[in-house]
């Protein structure tokens, strides 16, 4: 049995967008404001420095600044998972040690990127992170961007360690999610990654989810979760289908990140433009973003009602 409180990591966890000022530097006050807002919505926690947070496009120091701001604001209210994956093991360990120092509740990491690594290399990379702190560790499996396919044998081996409490699986197959849950066992968390498959993931074994589009519609994902927990699958499907329609429209912009940041700006949360090469929305798309934002807000009102 794991010695950590696994309940703290179950449910809706927002993959937090980073906040930048007009010059593209980390804006700690804006980050705190956004984190404070999310704490009021009823979500379980925040995942800081992942794909949605543009962690791979930031310096180690910038990633530390974002995490510090979030923990200072809501570290006593929400579960904070620090994504510390980096191209080098050395930077990942540095980020993990810092995460524990400032009060994160867990660390998570993708395999080191760019090089095509063997399972032994990835295991050594993750093990160095695990050994650097006393925090629980969550594997981040996203093969479509890292190029690394996590095997069940490596998952089982890693899960034997008390510190390794789960995996965030952003692979596109819910079959793989179910297989990982079966391999890890009841005391091993599986967190759904693809937002458009949240309900599918939950129904096949996921303990919750971590997602970027949660950030512009957390209330809708909370609604799906509520319906699922209460056994109302028809209502849960209805809301997942609504979410998926909204995701399709979000994906029609030059970048998902730019669209989500533009929507947050319309609501008074300035997070700046995404860092290049990620693209902001075009001026010509502003009317369409506003219309989409209004649609989302209408659905949020319905979900709350």
Token pair listed for 182: 């079966």
Question: Of the residues 140, 198, 228, 257, which is catalytic?
Answer: 140
The rounded distance, in Å, linking the Cα atoms of 235 and 254 is 32
140 is catalytic: yes
Token pair listed for 150: 């996590």
The per-residue DSSP string of 221-252 comes to: HHHHHHHHHTT-HHHHHHHHHHHHHHHHHHTT
The CA-based diameter of the chain, rounded to the nearest angstrom, is: 55
Residues near 46 by beta carbon (within 8 Å), at least 6 away in sequence: 13, 14, 15, 16, 35, 38, 70, 74, 78, 79, 80, 81
38 is catalytic: no
129 in the Ramachandran plot: left (φ > 0), alpha (ψ -120 to 50) or beta?
A: alpha
* Among 291, 289, 288, 297, residue whose Cα is nearest residue 220: 297
- Give CA separation, 33 vs 36, 112, 183, 267, in Å: 5, 31, 40, 12
- The answer to whether the beta carbons of residues 86 and 95 sit under 8 Å apart is yes
Question: Of the residues 44, 163, 168, 181, which is catalytic?
Answer: 168
Token pair listed for 22: 């007009």
Catalytic residue IDs: 140, 168
């Amino acid at each position: 049995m794991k010695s950590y409180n696994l309940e703290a990591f179950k449910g809706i966890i927002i993959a937090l967008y980073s906040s930048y000022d007009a010059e593209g530097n980390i804006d700690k006050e804006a980050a705190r404001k956004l984190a404070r807002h999310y704490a009021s919505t009823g979500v379980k926690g925040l995942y800081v420095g992942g794909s949605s947070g543009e962690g791979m496009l930031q310096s180690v120091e910038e990633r530390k600044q974002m995490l510090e701001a979030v923990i200072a604001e809501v570290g006593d209210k929400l579960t904070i998972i620090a994504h510390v994956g980096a191209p080098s093991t050395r930077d990942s360990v540095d980020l993990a040690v810092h995460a524990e120092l400032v009060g994160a509740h867990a660390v998570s990491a993708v395999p080191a990127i760019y090089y095509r690594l063997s399972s032994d290399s990835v295991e050594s990379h993750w093990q160095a992170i695990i050994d650097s702190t006393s925090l629980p560790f969550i594997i981040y499996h996203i093969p479509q961007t890292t190029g690394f396919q996590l095997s069940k044998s490596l998952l089982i081996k890693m899960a034997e360690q008390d510190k390794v409490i789960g995996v965030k699986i952003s692979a596109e197959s819910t079959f793989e999610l179910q297989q990982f849950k079966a391999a890890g066992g009841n005391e091993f968390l599986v967190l759904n990654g693809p937002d458009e498959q949240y309900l599918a993931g939950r129904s096949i074994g996921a303990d919750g989810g971590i997602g970027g589009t949660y950030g512009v519609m957390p209330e809708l994902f909370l609604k799906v979760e509520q319906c699922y927990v209460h056994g109302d699958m028809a209502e849960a499907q209805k809301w997942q289908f609504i979410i998926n329609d909204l995701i399709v429209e979000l994906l029609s912009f030059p970048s998902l990140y730019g669209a989500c940041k533009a929507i947050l700006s319309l609501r008074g949360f300035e997070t700046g433009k995404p860092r290049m090469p990620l693209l902001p929305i075009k001026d010509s798309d502003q009317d369409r973003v506003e219309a989409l934002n209004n649609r989302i807000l209408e659905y949020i009102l319905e979900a709350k009602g």
